[in-house]
């Protein structure tokens, strides 16, 4: 009986590792199929206007909008709630004991790594899939500048997360170290998710498809964060703070320095409801 259970667990863990890897070439192939042609709504290529000119009003608006975005405020509020009394520790103990999503600590650790990699690959693939013009030289230059902004957002997110880990010096639930707060997996996953979703706004796909892909990316990033809790590597407040940090920094840098046209009239939003959060579409007129 013990041997059978062990094999079943190993199979589940193997699937968590294998399936994301199988998706990588598919995602890259799809990006190649739709990339290299056309321009954005303003007639410019994606990334062509990155970094320059720097509009201070745009930078200020980007910082304001990124902070007051529901995808920043909701996890930030959640982190504050879990910090009350011993709610954090009790929630962590429950997640590790029951493993309701991933089945075991090992499965959860594997899932957090591979789902994060999947989001990272998607962030790059969607950037390549954006229209940056028909001229090969201009296309390459635009992609380099656009990806420069996005890699800067990833780098800043990682650096700030690491700095906060050093400052807070919080012991992990499994007592393996003192760099628990905030979660780097969560901040990175939500950084990649934010980039992928913003890139999708510029990709030539049906408008009805984009919201579904954005919701899927949100669930992937959330899966990374929750897996760190079930894997006994982080407390809920660690991953919630990481999620808020990753989205805020990435949204700010992307919107401030990529200099893309104004947002389209259809967007994806997360909003608070009684007992949780809702997901919906926002239409601007």
Taking residues 136-145, what's their average pLDDT?
A: 92
Could you read off the pLDDT of 154-210 as tens digits, one per residue?
999 999 999 999 999 999 999 999 999 999 999 999 999 999 999 999 998 888 889
Would you place residue 69 in the very low, low, confident or very high pLDDT band (cuts 50, 70, 90)? Answer: very high
Could you read off the pLDDT of 76-123 as tens digits, one per residue?
999 999 999 999 999 999 999 999 999 999 999 999 999 999 999 999
Give the whole-angstrom CA distance, residue 90 versus residue 104. 18
Q: 198 lies in a domain?
A: yes
Q: 151 lies in a domain?
A: yes
Q: 257 lies in a domain?
A: yes
Q: 47 lies in a domain?
A: no
Q: 123 lies in a domain?
A: yes
Range of the structural domain that residue 277 is part of: 2-35+55-283
- The domain total for the chain is 1
Q: 139 lies in a domain?
A: yes
Whether a cis peptide bond, with omega within 30° of 0, leads into 53 is yes
Q: 46 lies in a domain?
A: no
Could you read off the pLDDT of 228-270 as tens digits, one per residue?
999 999 999 999 999 999 999 999 999 999 999 875 444 545 5
Q: How many CB atoms lie within 10 A of CB 24?
A: 14
Are 65 and 255 a contacting pair, CB within 8 Å?
yes
For residue 48, give both structure tokens. 């062509």
Could you read off the pLDDT of 205-228 as tens digits, one per residue?
888 889 999 999 999 999 999 999
Q: 43 lies in a domain?
A: no
- pTM of this prediction? 0.84
């Amino acid at each position: 009986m013990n041997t059978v259970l062990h094999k079943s667990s190993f199979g589940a863990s193997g699937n968590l590792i294998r399936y994301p890897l199988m998706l990588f070439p598919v995602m890259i192939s799809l990006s190649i199929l739709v990339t290299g042609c056309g321009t954005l709504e303003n007639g410019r290529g994606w990334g062509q206007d990155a970094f320059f000119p720097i509009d201070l009003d745009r930078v200020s608006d980007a910082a304001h909008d990124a902070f007051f975005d529901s995808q920043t405020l909701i996890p930030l509020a959640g982190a504050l709630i879990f910090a009350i009394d011993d709610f954090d520790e009790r929630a962590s103990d429950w997640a590790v004991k029951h493993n309701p999503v991933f089945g075991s600590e090992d499965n959860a650790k594997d899932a957090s790594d591979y789902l994060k990699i999947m989001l990272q690959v998607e962030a790059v693939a969607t950037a390549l899939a954006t229209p940056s013009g028909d001229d090969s030289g201009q296309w390459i230059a635009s992609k380099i500048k656009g990806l420069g902004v996005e890699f800067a957002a990833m780098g800043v997110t990682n650096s700030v997360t690491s700095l906060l880990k050093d400052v807070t010096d919080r012991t992990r639930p499994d007592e393996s170290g003192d760099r628990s707060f905030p979660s780097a997996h969560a901040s990175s996953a939500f950084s990649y998710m934010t980039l992928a979703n913003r890139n999708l706004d510029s990709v030539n796909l049906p408008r009805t498809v984009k919201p579904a892909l954005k919701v899927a990316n949100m669930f992937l990033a959330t899966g990374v964060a929750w897996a760190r809790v079930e894997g006994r590597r982080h407390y809920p407040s660690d991953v919630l703070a990481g999620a808020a940090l990753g989205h805020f920094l990435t949204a700010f840098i992307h919107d401030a320095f990529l200099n893309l046209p104004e947002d389209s009239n259809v967007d994806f939003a997360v909003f608070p409801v009684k007992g949780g959060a809702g997901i919906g579409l926002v239409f601007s007129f």
